[in-house]
Amino acid sequence: MSVQSPRQVLVTGVTSGIGRALAVQLVAHGRAVWGVARRRDELERLQQELGANFHYSAADLTRPETPGQLMQALSRAQFAPDAVVLNAGIFPHDTGDTFDFSVAAAVLATNLTGALALVAAFLPQFLQRRFGQFVAVSSLFALRPDRLGVGYAASKAGLSMAFRSLEVRYRERSVRFKLMVFGPIATAGY
């Protein structure tokens, strides 16, 4: 079976950095993109910039109701993504004079738990269609410790291992789990 090129793509963390750049490139290449991010004002600006092939939902992936609400919005719009890019991520420092567990927990909720909740939401559709791609944006911090961000390194290591395991489990059923592992990238705020 040949691998199909996705026509409709959902991208999380779409209002800045890698997610924004990816959405711009996908739309420029004729793909329909559904962007997900927390900042509605930035989503509206991006929609004005990209036009009719960009749709969006303002949502917080750390909230348990988000996957269900997102699936309902996509269904109403008859938008069935062929690929889901799990890019949303935060990287606040959780170590200093001491370890701030609340910051680390917020990082894990966004970077790992929120991503896996979307996998759980979309996987049944992909399995039924026998086609679909999940792409997780990871980091070199998945492979080495970071003295400033315990939660960030842990979240990226967890996401990377989860995707490796999911790929092994579902590759026979034509659903792909891919990792993009980046090194340092200069984005706004860093």
- 32 token code pair: 């329909």
The CA-based angle 21-151-88, given to 5 degrees, is 25
Give the pairing of strands 132-139 and 175-182: parallel
Residue closest to 159 by CA, chosen among 139, 187, 132, 185:
139
- Tokens for 113, please give them: 């738990």
Yes or no: say if 182 and 137 are a contact pair by the CB < 8 Å rule.
yes
Per the residue annotation, which of 56, 152, 170, 190 is the catalytic one?
152
Examine the residue annotation and report whether 170 is marked as an active-site residue of this protein: no
**Annotated catalytic sites, by residue?**
152
